[in-house]
Chain A
Amino acid sequence: MSVARVQIHEFVSEAREHLGGVADDLLALEQRREGEVRPRVDRVFRAVHSIKGGAGFFGCKTIESLAHAMEAVLEHQREQSDPPSAAVVDALLAGVDRLLALLDDVERSNDVDVSALVTRLRGLTPNAVLAPIPNLTLDFVGTALTERPAEHLYLYGLKIDLSECHRRRKLSPLDVIGRLLDHGAILNARLDAPEASLDAPVGTTGIDYRVLFSTSLPPERLSAALDLPAVEIVLLEPQRPTAVADAPEPSRTVSERSESIRIPVQLVDRLMTLAGELVLVRNQAARTLGRDRTFGPVVQRLDAVTSEIQDAVMRTRMQPIGNLFGRFPRLVRDLARQLGKEIDLEASGAEVELDKTILEALSDPLTHLVRNCCDHGIETPERRRQLGKSSAGLISLSARHLGGQIFIEVRDDGKGLDPEAIRRKAVQRGLRSASEASRLGTRELLSLILLPGFSTAEQVTDVSGRGVGMDVVKTNVDRLGGVLEIESEPGRGTTFSLRLPLTLAIIPCLIVTAGGERYAIPQKDLEEFVCVRPGQGRTQIESAHDQEVVRLRERLLPLVRLPEVLARRQPFTVATRTEILRKHRPRRDSADNSTPLIYFAVVKAGSQRFGLIVDDILTTEEVVVKPVHAILKPLAAFSGATILGDGRVALILSIEGVARHAGVTFDVNEEQPLIERNYGPSAESQAVLLFRYGPDEQFAVPLATIRRIETVRMERVERVGEQEFVTVDGISTRILRPDRFLSVSACEPRTEMFLLLPKNPRRPAGVLLSAVVDTDTVSADVTSNAYRADGVVGSAVVRGRMTLFLDVYRLLDSLEPSVTTLALPPPRSGRILLVEDTQFFRSLVKGYLEAAGYEVVTADNGAEGLAALDRGSFDVIVTDIEMPVLDGWGFARGLRARPDGSRIPLLALTTLGSEADRARAEALGFDGYELKLDRERFLEAVAVLRSRR
């Protein structure tokens, strides 16, 4: 289950719980029991409020708006001393019922029209309704209210004085109408001009334009949005038993789709599990009875039926991707308007079905891609016209089946991606060294925008904006076992293509053994299976520094020994790898036929590829993926568990996790043989500088990468801790001694040495050397098997001496935190107290904070929060406002009253967005105020407060 799905599930069940209590409270209120009115109203308010918050967070607009309307009624009730009237309770109960119905199918809740109920609730809150203007009569009897769009929750009567509009703002009637249409729909209109005015000069008498107007704007925002000088607004009561009144939703749905029934997802999931079980039974039967003369045919029949059942059950979970595509027209329209662009959207393949789980998990990445196209791909209409394109940009969505996979494309005809700009950016961001970046092909360059840290939210340039969140998209797609590719032609457009499996639950796997246990390797991670006898033919297991490699069809493939990975709990270090290397080093004296066969699977994790050595290979099998126990989730090496034909559990390997555990490092452009990689495909001759450091080795560096050689007087070298610096050209330059980073011989102390300064380093630094030998042109026939470490390309014999070829940039990189760490947000530290009553927000926010490196202590309400203060100290406190027992205000007061509490930064994280609330927070000594929930903003706010501490 995806995180989002788990959370929405949590939200739904929590909301249901809340509502159960609410209904009881409302009923009690109706019976007007003495003395308990206020607490009950409070409780109902809090419940509805947290539902609103959750719904808002998950984008359940309909639930949010209904809860909001209910909340407003309750807010009003809180100020009353009398118990609510029967009409109020009635309306609230109707609200509860409707909320429950919406929660039953929360996915489609946004398609449901609740406007009538919302209007009814609004009628009960005097402060929300503008007082009716008596002399404004709007009798649009018979207007078809059904015609208004579902999102138009509000119905208004407007009286606009057109002559005033013209006189005061030079707005023509057409301007006025245009402005109205910008914000809603004109359902009916009437123009009232006094007869006399026809003769009078324009602008002296009023011309009344009366409009029945529907919009999604609430009363408090309508007048500002219209910004018309002379307008009277009336929020209309619903005309109750019209077409939009409370027609029961389910019955309508049923009658519209008489051929479908609704089944709870849990039941489908259960069926899915059972079908999975059946597959296992079939496998078992096939194994034990398949060859039996009597049972054989029966087993075959069982096999066929099982396959069909599995297929059919799988299909019950399938949903057309049109469900997802359906939301984009609106998104694109809104974005286009917001950005001042013209964008058309076309979609094809809406009928293509895929697994519900995948569909749900696709929603975010697809939305992000479409957004990205609108935002950064499509140019402004002016720009497009200049370029000779049609002024409206086009975004096309398409989906199709191909070979058991789904292909989804998001394409725009906008400005495309500029590979050169990406190259510069990647170097500037430190994701690739300049020399590496210069060797990347277009496709590899484009894929760089998927790296975390390629771009940040600052959006300085066109290209930078293009990378925002793309790493998240990639992660989501990876998690689904999919592949994301980018193609782009500058000036012509960009295409994002996604390739996804149809379903997740049953996957074909290769079953292997390691250390006496069986493990499943998903077929999707597998390229081929190789069995070699080392020492025979050309197949050799060689060692490159601490890494075992094998030559497979002229390409070097790193090797990982699965039994060693499984036997070692800690992720590998250089020491671990060296130890493994030593353990498996072939003995020279042993005869060839005594060396055992070695089996390895060539596997890939993302763009990485390596050989995974196993003890044996058993079979391929379709396995049903079972979730692993929560306690085992942190284990990176496994993605799940399954039950094999003999009824035993086997673990499914996560190739990516295994690679991480073993510390295999790869480059993006793995397609090229490792030997040639560092100096490009032209393996011809090149000019190098030969130099020495210690007595034992000779080094070579390509001349092309050297800026100059500087003489360094050693007495002028300054030491800062372990690091050495010398001033070159007025800049403090870091000194890199080869023996500190490579296992090469040390250099005798001397008074004068040389510093090799590379071109365009990321930071001022240079490599120290004792003597320059010469420059020479050598053939790049550098072998990599003799010596390989970060910064060493390979070795060759030059002028009769063993010479190590260095990659200076790599070497310099090793002075700094590794690239991947750089890309991640800097690790934070600190202890944070999180006070939040809603369980799912609590776990969500806690997760955010923990991922950012904080230690988090949680409390369920203000009182518990204060109690937690007694048990420990905190660097920052984050609190919700609306909470039972003791709310955020009370908590703040309690905190600030404590002798130690006044200095701890306090951040409010709430759904209460009004200015009054903010002001109140400030008055109570909150140091920050964040709305639920923008992860980046929130973490930023916490970091700022933390640093203040």
Chain B
Amino acid sequence: MRSEEGGARMTSRALAGPERAYCTFRLGDDLFGIDVRHVQSVNLLPPVTPVPHAPLSVSGCVNLRGQVHLVVDLKRLLGAGVTAAGPDTRLIVLKPALGDPFGVLVDRLGDIVTLRPDQIEDRGGGDETMADDLVYAVGKLEGELLVLLDARQFLHRVERTEAS
């Protein structure tokens, strides 16, 4: 696939296919999305057992169908505060390919959004901030921007924030 007109630099991820679906959700008021292929399921939040001494971005553990899942506070991972569980809070469980069973907390679930490559703008990776690992591109929706997160980096990031 060649890059098309419009000057948008394509990420290698975006180039992998013509259109891609993203599972969107809100953290606070901001809209985020992750590749739907990384999502295993979306769940109501079961009672969370806190894990003392765990990295700060780990909310705790939950039982989902007999398996213990790690719960990651995505907001905290992004350095945007702490998630307060409410009626709209959901746990997005990621595919096993991404590591031991885990899910991320989101404030509210959005739609599944399909984006064409020309709707995606690579973040460029100029600055070496930590957020670069997580936020890799921005999707241009009508009237709103969709921040695309790389779900494969979630666990690495949890480990790194602990180390630091």
Q: Interface residues, chain A, CB within 8 Å of chain B?
A: 273, 276-277, 280, 515, 517, 565-567, 569, 626-632, 635, 637-638, 641, 643, 647-651, 661
- Determine which of B53, B60, B99 lies in contact with A630 in the assembled complex, contact meaning CB atoms within 8 Å: B99
Q: Count of chain B residues with Cβ under 8 Å from any Cβ of A?
A: 27
A-B contact pairs, 23 of them (CB 8 A): A273-B66, A277-B66, A517-B50, A567-B52, A627-B100, A628-B68, A629-B68, A629-B69, A630-B99, A630-B100, A630-B155, A631-B55, A631-B58, A631-B100, A631-B102, A631-B155, A632-B54, A637-B53, A641-B49, A643-B66, A643-B68, A650-B49, A651-B49
CA A824 – CA B98 in complex, angstroms? 36
Centre residue among A565, A648, A661 by max chain B CB count within 10 A:
A648
Please, how many angstroms separate the alpha-carbon atoms of A881 and B46 in the complex? Answer: 51
* Complex contact A626–B54 (CB within 8 A): no
CA distance A276 to B100 in the complex (A): 19
**Is B105 part of the binding interface, using a Cβ–Cβ cutoff of 8 Å?**
no
Indicate with 1 or 0, residue by residue over B127-164, a CB within 8 angstroms of chain A CB atoms. 00000000000000000000000000001001100100
Complex alpha-carbon distance, A649 and B46, angstroms? 10
A651 to B66, CA, bound (A): 15
B54-90 toward A: CB 8 Å interface, digit per residue (1/0)?
Answer: 1100101111001111100000000000000000000
Closest to B69 in A: A629
In this complex, what residue of A is CB-closest to B156? Answer: A631
**Is B49's CB under 8 angstroms from A649's CB?**
yes
When A and B form their complex, what is the total count of cross-chain residue pairs whose Cβ atoms lie within 8 Å?
73
A696–B4 Cα gap in the complex (Å)?
86
CB pair A626 B70 closer than 8 Å: no
Assembly CA distance A276 to B65 (angstroms): 12
Binary contact readout B93-106 vs A (1 if CB under 8 angstroms, 0 otherwise): 00000011110000
A630 CA to B159 CA, complexed, in Å:
10
B51 touches A (CB below 8 Å): yes
A651-B54 Cα distance, complex, nearest whole Å: 12
Query: Which residues of the partner chain A approach B50 to less than 8 Å between Cβ atoms?
Result: 517
Q: Is B126 an interface residue (CB 8 A)?
A: no
Measured CB to CB, the closest approach of chain A to B94, in angstroms, equals: 12
Which A residues touch B54, using CB under 8 A? 631-632, 635
Q: Which residue of B lies closest to A637 (CB)?
A: B53
**Other than the known A517-B50, A649-B63, A651-B49, what 13 A-B pairs have Cβ atoms closer than 8 Å?**
A273-B66, A515-B52, A569-B52, A626-B68, A627-B100, A628-B68, A629-B68, A629-B69, A631-B159, A638-B51, A648-B47, A649-B61, A661-B53
Q: Whole-angstrom distance between the alpha carbons of A355 and B141 in the complex?
A: 57
Chain B's nearest CB lies how many Å from the CB of A618? Answer: 15
Contact of A635 among B53, B100, B102 (CB under 8 A): B53
What residues of chain A lie closer than 8 Å to B60, measured between beta carbons?
A: 649
Q: Which of B49, B53, B61, B100 is the most central at the interface, judged by chain A CB atoms within 10 Å of its CB? A: B53
In Å, the complex CA distance between A221 and B60 comes to 60
Q: How far is the CA of A277 from the CA of B63 in the complex (A)?
A: 11
Question: Please, how many angstroms separate the alpha-carbon atoms of A638 and B49 in the complex?
Answer: 13
Instruction: Please give, as numbers and ranges, the residues of chain A lying within 8 Å of B58 by CB-CB distance.
Output: 631-632
CB < 8 Å neighbour of A280 from B52, B66, B159? B66
Chain A interface helix/strand/loop/mixed = mixed
Contact of B52 among A273, A566, A641, A647 (CB under 8 A): A566
Q: Is the CB of A651 within 8 A of B51?
A: yes
Task: Select which of A569, A631, A650 is within 8 A of B70 by beta carbon.
Answer: A631
B100 → A minimal CB distance (Å): 5
Question: What residue of chain B has the Cβ atom nearest to residue A280's Cβ?
Answer: B66
User: Residues of B with Cβ closer than 8 Å to A?
Assistant: 46-47, 49-55, 58, 60-63, 66-70, 99-102, 155, 158-159, 162
A160–B59 Cα distance when bound, in Å, is 77
The CA of A840 and the CA of B68, in the complex, are separated in Å by: 26
Partner of B62, one of A627, A638, A649: A649
A641 touches B66 (CB 8 A): no
> How far is B46's CA from A415's CA once the two chains are assembled, in angstroms?
62
The complex places the Cα of A260 from the Cα of B50 at a distance, in Å, of 45
Choice from A273, A277, A629, A648 contacting B101 with Cβ under 8 Å: A629
A632–B55 Cα distance when bound, in Å, is: 8
Chain A residues whose C-beta falls within 8 Å of the C-beta of B68 in the assembled complex: 626-629, 641, 643, 649
Q: A residues within 8 A CB of B46?
A: 647-648
Q: How far is the CA of A649 from the CA of B63 in the complex (A)?
A: 6
Shortest 9 CB-CB contacts between residues of A and residues of B: A566-B52, A629-B70, A649-B49, A649-B61, A629-B100, A626-B68, A277-B66, A641-B68, A643-B63
What CA separation (Å) do A277 and B68 show in the bound complex? 12
Interface-centre pick from B46, B52, B62, B158 (highest chain A CB count, 10 A): B52
- 8 Å CB contact of A648 from B49, B53, B69, B162: B49
| B61 neighbours in A (Cβ, 8 Å) | 628-629, 632, 641, 649, 651
Q: Which residues does chain A contribute within 8 Å of B100, judged by CB atoms?
A: 627, 629-631
B50 CB → nearest A CB, Å: 6
A-side contacts of B101, CB under 8 Å: 629
Q: Measured between alpha carbons, how far is A151 from B146 in the docked complex, in Å? A: 65
CA distance A643 to B69 in the complex (A): 11
Q: How far is the CA of A638 from the CA of B58 in the complex (A)?
A: 15
Question: Which residue of B51, B62, B99 contacts A632 across the interface (Cβ within 8 Å)?
Answer: B51
Most chain A beta-carbon neighbours within 10 Å: one of B62, B66, B69? B66
Contacting residues, chain B, for A569 (C-beta < 8 A): 52-53
Are the C-beta atoms of B63 and A635 separated by less than 8 Å? no
Least CB separation from A516: chain B residue? B50
Chain A residues, CB < 8 A from B162: 631
B53→A631 contact, CB < 8 A = no
Chain A: minimal CB distance from B37 (Å): 22
In whole angstroms, what is the CA distance A200 to B100 when docked? 82
Is the beta-carbon distance between B70 and A647 smaller than 8 angstroms? no
* Bound CA–CA A14/B59 (angstroms): 34
- Which chain B residue shows the least CB distance to A565? B52
Residues in B neighbouring A626, C-beta threshold 8 A: 67-68
Chain B CB count within 10 A is highest, among A276, A567, A632, A661, for A632
Q: For B101, give the chain A residue with the smallest CB separation.
A: A629
Query: Which of A273, A641, A661 gathers most chain B CB within 10 Å?
Result: A641
Chain A residues positioned under 8 Å from B47 (CB to CB): 648
In the complex, what's the smallest C-beta–C-beta distance from A95 to chain B, in angstroms?
32
- Residues of chain B with a CB closer than 8 A to A565's CB: 52
Chain B nearest Cβ from A280, distance in angstroms: 7
Q: Tell me how far the C-beta of A434 lies from the nearest C-beta in chain B, rounded to whole angstroms.
A: 39
Expressed in whole angstroms, the Cα–Cα distance for A917 and B66 within the complex equals: 53
Closest approach, in angstroms, between the C-beta of A726 and any C-beta of chain B?
A: 45
Q: State in angstroms the CA–CA spacing of A631 and B63 once bound together.
A: 17
Chain A's closest residue to B61 (CB) is A649
Nearest A residue to B66 via CB reads A277
Most B CB contacts (10 A, CB to CB) among A277, A566, A649, A651 go to: A649
Residue of A nearest to B158 (CB): A631
- Min CB distance B115 to A, Å, is 31
The CA-CA distance from A643 to B101 in the complex, in Å, is 15
Complex interface: chain B residues within 8 A of A651 (CB): 49, 51, 61
Closest to B50 in A: A517
**Chain A residues with CB below 8 A from B53, complex form:** 566, 569, 635, 637, 661
Nearest opposing residue in chain A for B155, CB measure = A631
In the assembled complex, the Cα of A629 lies from the Cα of B158 at a distance in Å of: 12
Q: How far is the CA of A834 from the CA of B67 in the complex (A)?
A: 36
For A631, list chain B residues within 8 Å (CB).
54-55, 58, 70, 100, 102, 155, 158-159, 162
A628 to B68, CA, bound (A): 7
A267 to chain B, nearest CB (A): 17
Q: A629-B100, A630-B99, A630-B100 are in contact. Are A635 and B66 (CB under 8 A)?
A: no
> Across the two chains, which residue of chain B brings its CB closest to A570?
B53
Interface centre among A515, A629, A638, A650 (most CB of B within 10 A): A629
Cα A211 to Cα B69 in complex, Å, equals: 66
CA distance A627 to B99 in the complex (A): 13
From the candidates A276, A638, A647, name the one contacting B63 in the complex (CB within 8 A).
A647
Least Cβ–Cβ distance between B85 and chain A, in angstroms: 15
Contact A517 B49 (CB under 8 A): yes
